[in-house]
Amino acid sequence: MGTADSEVALVTGAGGAIGSEICRALRAAGIRVALADVDEAALERTAADLGPGDDLASFAADLADDRQTAGLPDRVREHFGGLDILVNNAGVREVVPLLDLTPGQWRRTLDIDLVAPFVLSRAAIPGMIAQGGGKIVNVASMAGLSAFRDRAAYSSAKAGLIMLTKVTAVECGDQGIRCNAVAPGVVETPMTSSFFGSADLTASIRANTPMRRWCGPAEIAEPVVFLCGPQARFVNGAVIPVDGGWTAGYYGAELSPRPKES
């Protein structure tokens, strides 16, 4: 548990499945955590689940609103006295065929998944530089590395977030800022709950994943903590796929007589 001189992390989407596990894992690493989300009930659930402590604080904010987004780092600094780590984890996803996707859906997805991480980074970085450095971890997706059907806005936003990660690393690395990303594969969360009721879909996930399974939110949180920590002190501009090997290549079980499908 973090003490008064521990590092401070701001985690967006902290009310969600992956965000709450990131908060738990950062806290377990001794980091104080600012939980941010638009959904106040979800924020309260995460805070209750993590348990009491003055190393945690909740901040309601709608990341679709630039003014609220840009104001978050200062709210966190006012509360904790500093901000060392930003985890851009909040995200939304539309699963709509390209030709049915409206410009409004496109813009909303890009606003939350790409514009907000930019606005937050821009607001957080000057204070980080002033205090001697900082770390940013962006939660992208394997859909930002490979194209997926019916996810034009989501895949485009996550691909943009991967490039924002690299530009931030290149532009701010000489000022003590490290910026990296994780690109999760299929994680069992409410966002993907519809997958797990269908035998066809779970078989398809297994068929595409060399490790033959999907993962839980904690398996995303642990690489995020690594990227925030001293063991990653020379890691900058990296994108770590956390997808069981999905985007490493084509699993291609049907091309080989060897693997037996269960």
Distance CA 149, CA 182 (A): 21
Distance CA 160, CA 62 (A): 21
Distance CA 155, CA 177 (A): 26
Please choose, out of 8-16, 51-59, 129-137, 228-236, the segment that lies near ligand NAD by the rule CB under 6 A: 8-16
- Binders of ligand NAD among 45-104, rule CB under 6 A? 62-64, 89-93
- Binders of ligand NAD among 191-220, rule CB under 6 A? 191-192
Distance CA 247, CA 244 (A): 8
Residue with tokens 């859906």: 105
**Phi–psi pair at 47, nearest 5 degrees:** -60, -40
Catalytic residue among 59, 154, 214, 246: 154
Q: Is 251 a catalytic residue?
A: no
- Binders of ligand NAD among 127-186, rule CB under 6 A? 139, 141, 184, 186
Least distance to ligand NAD, CB of residue 142, Å: 6
Distance CA 251, CA 159 (A): 22
Q: Judged by CB, which is closer to ligand NAD: 125, or 140?
A: 140
Q: Judged by CB, which is closer to ligand NAD: 186, or 240?
A: 186
Q: Judged by CB, which is closer to ligand NAD: 6, or 161?
A: 161
**Phi–psi pair at 88, nearest 5 degrees:** -85, 90
Cβ atoms of 247 and 159 closer than 8 Å:
no
**Count of CB atoms within 10 A of residue 230's CB?**
6
Please choose, out of 24-32, 122-130, 188-196, 227-235, the segment that lies near ligand NAD by the rule CB under 6 A: 188-196
Q: Judged by CB, which is closer to ligand NAD: 16, or 244?
A: 16
Interface residues toward ligand NAD, by CB under 6 A: 12-13, 15-19, 37-39, 42, 62-64, 89-93, 112, 139, 141, 184, 186-187, 189-192
Question: Which residues belong to the active site?
Answer: 154
